[in-house]
Chain A
Amino acid sequence: MSVRFPTLGGGGARVTQGIGRQSFTARGSGGKWRHPWFTALRHEQGQWTATVKPGFVNGQCPIVRTTALEQGADAKDFGTNPLTGKKYFSDPVFNGGQTVEPKLVRVDVPLYLSPRLTMSWRPLGWDGPPGSQVPEFFANLGAGSQPRIDLSAPEVNLDLLPQPPEGLRLLRVCDVVLHQPRLALTSTLNVLPGLLTGGFAAQQTLSLLAPPAGDSLRLFSGVFQPPVEIDPTAFDFTEQPFDERLVARCYLLSPPKTPQLSEPDATWTPYVQHFLFWNLEYQTPSFQQVPGDDNIQFIPPLAGGVAQIVINSITSQLNDATQRAFNQIVARSMAGTHWTATGGGHSSVFPEPETASAAGRRGLAHATNLRERSLAADLARRATRLNPAFPYEARGASTTLFSS
């Protein structure tokens, strides 16, 4: 900016006088507001770690299961005792009788104490697993997807394998996941042979499985696995006793020309794509009781008892079918629902405007052309960023909360 009159700096702004120009520097009154679950990556002590701004589920703050060593506690090495050949102070007498070194004991640290998450990076793209593709955002920055090689061909000429493009950048990825323990639905099938009666009884039982002892609402880094839905028509199944939500997907992008399979260091650039922006509520569905036993109880002997074997067989099959039908109806997953209490509205995404028809583009359709140009600019803007702009979209409440 070029002005020909003096300027004065006020609150929140500073004026710097340069040669033939002045520059404005504006600052806010503090740090930028960050939404819950905001994840930041940091390189310290030779490794990339993540910290997450506290988020809440039903008012509870998740924990991070970690060790003092992972949190960067003083890891002073006193060396090896030449007499014993063991590390100094490694004897249990220095450790209160515990067999595990204190720095390796796992402890639960609430998220509001800003524990560090140790990341386990996995490669994505060029030096990743076969077929792995990089998101378009990173492709635009120079990360390459893995070339498609037809391994089914009778001969693969290694000389003709695609070479890395010039200035290739490598990509690493690691997920931050919210883990929510819950009850799980199980189904077991008991087949009871009845040789004397000529029939058999197959009974499918639905029950609940408690989560493992010690499991709790926590955050961990690793790989997010989408939930596997149960098949209510299957006889035997067991649900996973937890729900998981993807909080953020963390990426590290290498400088150009980094050797393949390199470990990330401080020269790599961190990016975070967020999937949760607000604190959550959580509810699981009610467990449905199976209706009472309506088995066909007794049919008087027919044909002098000769037909009893056939009758028993038929009634047994009828009972099994009835039981299976009941179970299929009520075998509803105990998977819970996360939502954000927003009073009803929870979306900041506006509906896509209608694209102009080919006929609309002809002539002087200025309004249509402008709208299309605005839409294209908006899409281009979205493609240049990983995260949406404020206000962030929230998870809506599910109507299944009201079904019984």
Chain B
Amino acid sequence: MIARRPETMPVPEAVLRPQLSAGGRLQVSTLGFSFTPEAGGTRWPHPWKPSLSGRTLRIARGIVDGLWTPQIAGKPMTEALLELKPEVQNEKGESWAALEVEPNKDGLLDQDSRVEIVHTKEGRSVDPKVGRWHLCLILWNGQAAQQVLPIAMFNPRYERFQPEAGQGAVRHLFL
């Protein structure tokens, strides 16, 4: 909002200047005072933030291990939308957009590793080669994707933990 000072009015004295409390921003220019209210935290562009449009999903950019930007159908996630298929939903009408990673033999991600966002109805991966981390939940009403709920809100670090023989399964940890 801008408070304009007409030419006929005297310059306001310092004591008459608007005083701010917490949560606002006040700027002074030759036009007067400009007050920007707090947005109330309504918009928080966190990583992996999903937005649904029909049967496509746009996901805000996220980074794995501080280095790797996932791909969607072979393109960087910043340039592609995730296609949602109605047949990929469970009996409760739920599906997920999930990050899948395939580390190298040392359990690390490198430039040849698959770091991809997929549409799935599967839970956590039990495949020792593939780690899966759910980014958002998609709720279906029949053939229509009705709502998306964000799950991931931070950029993760990936670790594969290989226990000793006979002491359990491989674990894919997103920390």
Could you say which residues of chain A place their CB within 8 Å of the CB of B149?
Answer: 54, 56, 61, 112
Contact between chains at A8 and B3 (CB < 8 Å): yes
Contact between chains at A3 and B153 (CB < 8 Å): no
Contact between chains at B154 and A340 (CB < 8 Å): yes
Contact between chains at A6 and B175 (CB < 8 Å): no
Query: In the complex, how many angstroms separate the beta carbon of A377 from the nearest chain B beta carbon?
Result: 14
Query: In the complex, how many angstroms separate the beta carbon of B126 from the nearest chain A beta carbon?
Result: 13
Q: Please, how many angstroms separate the alpha-carbon atoms of A33 and B133 in the complex?
A: 24
Contact between chains at A33 and B163 (CB < 8 Å): no
Contact between chains at B42 and A341 (CB < 8 Å): no
Q: Does B39 contact A (CB under 8 A)?
A: yes
Interface size for B (C-beta < 8 A) is 53
Q: Please, how many angstroms separate the alpha-carbon atoms of A59 and B48 in the complex?
A: 14
Question: Given A3-B18, A7-B1, A287-B168, A401 and B42 touching (CB < 8 A)?
Answer: no
At the interface, is chain A mostly helix, strand, loop or mixed?
loop
Residue ID in chain B nearest A1 by CB atoms: B18
Residue ID in chain B nearest A29 by CB atoms: B42
Q: Residues 348-370 of chain A: 1 if any B CB is under 8 Å from the residue's CB, otherwise 0?
A: 00000000000000000000000
Could you say which residues of chain B place their CB within 8 Å of the CB of A342?
Answer: 154, 156, 175
Query: In the complex, how many angstroms separate the beta carbon of B164 from the nearest chain A beta carbon?
Result: 5
Q: Does B41 contact A (CB under 8 A)?
A: yes
Query: In the complex, how many angstroms separate the beta carbon of A137 from the nearest chain B beta carbon?
Result: 21
Q: Residues 28-54 of chain A: 1 if any B CB is under 8 Å from the residue's CB, otherwise 0?
A: 111111000000000000000000001
Residue ID in chain A nearest B159 by CB atoms: A402
- Select the stretch in B30-38, B51-59, B73-81 that faces chain A: B30-38
- Select the stretch in A92-100, A126-134, A148-156, A277-285 that faces chain B: A277-285
Could you say which residues of chain A place their CB within 8 Å of the CB of B163?
Answer: 286, 404
Residue ID in chain B nearest A33 by CB atoms: B41
Query: In the complex, how many angstroms separate the beta carbon of B132 from the nearest chain A beta carbon?
Result: 9
Interface size for A (C-beta < 8 A) is 50
Could you say which residues of chain B place their CB within 8 Å of the CB of A390?
Answer: 41
Could you say which residues of chain B place their CB within 8 Å of the CB of A8?
Answer: 1-4
Question: Given A6-B4, A10-B1, A61-B137, A28 and B40 touching (CB < 8 A)?
Answer: yes
Could you say which residues of chain A place their CB within 8 Å of the CB of B133?
Answer: 59, 341
Query: In the complex, how many angstroms separate the beta carbon of A338 from the nearest chain B beta carbon?
Result: 13
Q: Residues 1-30 of chain A: 1 if any B CB is under 8 Å from the residue's CB, otherwise 0?
A: 111111111111101000000001011111
Could you say which residues of chain B place their CB within 8 Å of the CB of A54?
Answer: 149
Contact between chains at A5 and B171 (CB < 8 Å): no
Contact between chains at B37 and A4 (CB < 8 Å): no
Q: Residues 115-135 of chain B: 1 if any A CB is under 8 Å from the residue's CB, otherwise 0?
A: 000000001100000000110
Query: In the complex, how many angstroms separate the beta carbon of A363 from the nearest chain B beta carbon?
Result: 34
Could you say which residues of chain B place their CB within 8 Å of the CB of A340?
Answer: 154
Could you say which residues of chain A place their CB within 8 Å of the CB of B161?
Answer: 401-402
Residue ID in chain A nearest B43 by CB atoms: A29
Contact between chains at A59 and B168 (CB < 8 Å): no
Q: Please, how many angstroms separate the alpha-carbon atoms of A79 and B3 in the complex?
A: 65
Residue ID in chain B nearest A60 by CB atoms: B123
Q: Does B142 contact A (CB under 8 A)?
A: no
Q: Please, how many angstroms separate the alpha-carbon atoms of A10 and B10 in the complex?
A: 23
Contact between chains at B153 and A26 (CB < 8 Å): no
Could you say which residues of chain A place their CB within 8 Å of the CB of B96?
Answer: 59
Contact between chains at B92 and A2 (CB < 8 Å): no
Question: Given A29-B39, A59-B123, A279 and B3 touching (CB < 8 A)?
Answer: no
Q: Does A289 contact B (CB under 8 A)?
A: yes
Please tell me which one of the listed residues B9, B19, B44, B137 contacts residue A112 in the complex, with CB atoms under 8 A apart.
B137
What are 9 A-B residue pairs whose CB atoms fall within 8 Å in the complex?
A4-B12, A7-B4, A26-B38, A28-B42, A30-B42, A110-B92, A341-B133, A341-B152, A341-B157
Q: What 7 A-B pairs have minimum CB-CB distances, sorted nearest first?
A: A59-B134, A26-B37, A28-B40, A286-B168, A10-B1, A33-B41, A13-B1
Having A32-B40, A58-B123, one finds 20 other A-B pairs with CB under 8 Å, namely A1-B19, A3-B16, A4-B9, A5-B6, A5-B32, A11-B1, A24-B1, A30-B42, A31-B42, A32-B42, A33-B41, A56-B134, A59-B96, A59-B98, A112-B139, A112-B147, A112-B149, A343-B175, A344-B175, A402-B159
Interface residues of B (CB under 8 A from A): 1-6, 9-10, 12, 16, 18-19, 24, 32, 35, 37-44, 66, 92, 96, 98, 123-124, 133-134, 137, 139, 147, 149, 151-157, 159, 161, 163-164, 166-168, 171, 173-175
